[in-house]
């Protein structure tokens, strides 16, 4: 328990130092101007994509509830999923924060602790399925050369793309031909009907496509950078932030993007874009989730007072 915490603190410190160095190199006024230079249309489009993503993500909750054979209106699963994602994506320690928030919702709707744990596990597994599907496809078809400064044991993500897609293929085949759940060490992988498994992969993949689009529409236009090629860079930066265990990937995500995109992209402009992206994709959903969660708890208290 101590080692992961030390690693997270170390990576956070190094990442914040990197950003601080960049801010010193490029005056704060330049960064502020780069934020102001983002077209209003791009900001509105990024906000719209964020809202759409927070409607797509909770569909995994709806699938999980369906697998549990517990009828629940879609607006309830959307509320629970969106609020839990909005809080856990920024606060970090996703398994703990996700479980705590979802339990407050689903226990109110007569779900047991075991069922809530199954919903959380299904949602997190869907997240990785989406990453392996879209990330694997891009890694395999347009492999990214890893900068030597990252000091990784490989210089291309091509092989990783093949591994990711092989795992997705195996998952689909197993749900198609298999008929029982599988236990792998401490992990329990339930068997899912093939149509639901394909829908699960599609929902999770769409969420990743939207997430990449949120940042891409905020970036300054570059002839050499397409949405498809940017996907490589975004996924690599997200993987680094996930491995770091730093809440919200704060600093780690930005550091990798700064390394991979500047030059040729101006660092001051990129930093301004990343600050706008973090505000739209993390802090805006966090604020909305806290408000919705507070209203849910207030309604719960008022109903308990009215009840005999």
For residue range 92-101, what is the model confidence (pLDDT) as tens digits?
666 677 888 8
Residue 255 belongs to a domain: no
**Range 249-256 average pLDDT:** 69
Helices (H), 142-216: 158-177, 194-216
Residue pair 198/171 in contact (Cβ under 8 Å)? The answer is no
Residue 265 belongs to a domain: no
**Range 223-246 average pLDDT:** 78
Residue 166's pLDDT is 93
Residue 11 belongs to a domain: no
Spatial separation of the C-alpha atoms in residues 9 and 1, rounded to whole Å: 13
Residue 303 belongs to a domain: no
Residue 254 belongs to a domain: no
Overall domain count for the chain: 1
Query: For the whole model, what pTM was predicted?
Result: 0.81
Residue 6 belongs to a domain: no
Residue 287 belongs to a domain: yes
Q: What is the pLDDT of residues 192-232, one digit of tens each?
A: 889 999 999 999 999 999 999 999 999 887 777 888 888 88
Spatial separation of the C-alpha atoms in residues 235 and 208, rounded to whole Å: 9
Owning domain of residue 289 = 42-221+281-297
Residue pair 212/144 in contact (Cβ under 8 Å)? The answer is no
**Range 279-292 average pLDDT:** 85
58/12: higher pLDDT = 58
Residue 97 belongs to a domain: yes
pLDDT band at 15 (very low <50, low <70, confident <90, very high): very low
String of b and e for 228-266 (b: at least 16 CB within 10 Å)?
A: eebbbbbbbbbbbbbebbbbbbbbbbbbbbbbbbbeebb
């Amino acid at each position: 328990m101590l080692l992961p915490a030390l690693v997270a603190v170390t990576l956070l410190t190094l990442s914040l130092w990197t950003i601080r160095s960049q801010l010193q190199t490029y005056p704060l006024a330049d960064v502020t101007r780069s934020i102001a230079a983002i077209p209003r249309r791009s900001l509105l489009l990024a906000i719209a994509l964020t809202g759409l993503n927070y409607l797509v993500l909770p569909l995994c909750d709806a699938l999980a509830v369906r697998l549990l054979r517990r009828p629940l209106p879609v607006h309830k699963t959307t509320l629970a999923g969106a609020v839990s994602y909005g809080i856990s994506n920024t606060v970090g320690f996703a398994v703990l924060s996700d479980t705590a928030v979802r339990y407050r919702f689903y226990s109110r709707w007569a779900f047991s602790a075991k069922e809530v744990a199954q919903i959380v596990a299904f949602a997190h597994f869907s997240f990785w399925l989406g990453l392996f599907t879209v990330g694997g496809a891009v890694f395999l078809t347009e492999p990214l050369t890893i900068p030597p400064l990252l000091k990784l044991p490989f210089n291309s993500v091509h092989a990783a793309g093949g591994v990711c897609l092989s795992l997705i293929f195996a998952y689909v085949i197993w749900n198609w031909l298999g008929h029982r759940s599988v236990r792998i060490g401490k992990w329990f992988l339930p068997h899912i009907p093939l149509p639901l498994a394909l829908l699960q992969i599609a929902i999770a993949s769409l969420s990743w496509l939207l997430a990449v689009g949120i940042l891409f529409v905020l970036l300054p236009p570059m002839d050499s950078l397409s949405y498809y090629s940017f996907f490589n860079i975004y996924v690599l930066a997200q993987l680094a932030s996930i491995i770091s265990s730093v809440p919200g990937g704060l600093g780690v995500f930005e550091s990798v993007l700064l390394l991979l995109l500047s030059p040729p992209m101006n660092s001051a402009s990129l930093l301004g874009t990343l600050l706008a992206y973090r505000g739209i994709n993390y802090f805006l959903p966090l604020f909305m989730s806290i408000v919705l969660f507070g209203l849910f708890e207030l309604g719960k208290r008022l109903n308990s007072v009215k009840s005999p």
